[in-house]
Amino acid sequence: MSLVIYIVIMWFVLGLVIVDKKVIGNREIMFVFMLVSTVNTHSYLLVSETFNLVSISHELVRYSSYILHRSFLNPLLVSYCLNKIFKRDVGKGQIIALLLSLGILMVLEALNLKLEIISYKTWNFFFTICYLFGLLLLSYGCLRLFKKIGWT
């Protein structure tokens, strides 16, 4: 059941990324996707396997859902959200878009907990909010640098 939910959500977000009017180009979207995928994968591995702060289900379907969430869904959502953030005027609109993006990512994290894909040992929701906020800011800053250098 969890795998089907994540596949449907992933296809929906992929459709949004493809169909929605883009302020940032395809090259920038791929840059953000690859950056977030790399950072997200390594962060989740550190948190779950090295420091044992989070327990991941070893059941095949749930673990596949976890991999789909970690490696594809989060990076796609961050890419889509950054497109929305860059579409807004500097200031209040970008902050609102950032907070909505953070809210969407937190709903997915809550879904992970509800479907028992992950369970917190010494980790909590506040740490997750801080991590996702840092991930969004890192990707935003790297994308700004990417555009400033002129690799677009």
pLDDT in tens, the chain (152 residues): 899 999 999 999 999 999 988 888 889 999 999 999 999 999 999 999 999 999 999 999 999 999 999 999 999 999 999 998 888 777 888 888 889 999 999 999 999 999 999 999 999 999 999 999 999 999 999 999 988 888 76
Tell me, yes or no, whether 11 lies in a domain.
no
Q: Within a domain: residue 98?
A: yes
Token digits of residue 124 = 């909590």
Domain membership of residue 82 (yes or no) is: yes
Within-domain flag for 35: yes
Which domain, by its residues, includes 49? 23-149
Q: Are 66 and 112 in contact (CB under 8 A)?
A: yes
> What are the helix and strand counts (H, E) for the chain?
6, 2
Please state the domain count of the chain: 1
Domain-located, residue 16: no
Residue 92 confidence (pLDDT): 85
Residue 43 lies in a domain: yes
In a domain, residue 6? The reply is no
Look at residue 45 and tell me if it is in a domain.
Answer: yes
What one-letter code names the amino acid at 134?
G
Which CA distances in Å does 31 have to 38, 105, 119, 123?
11, 19, 31, 29
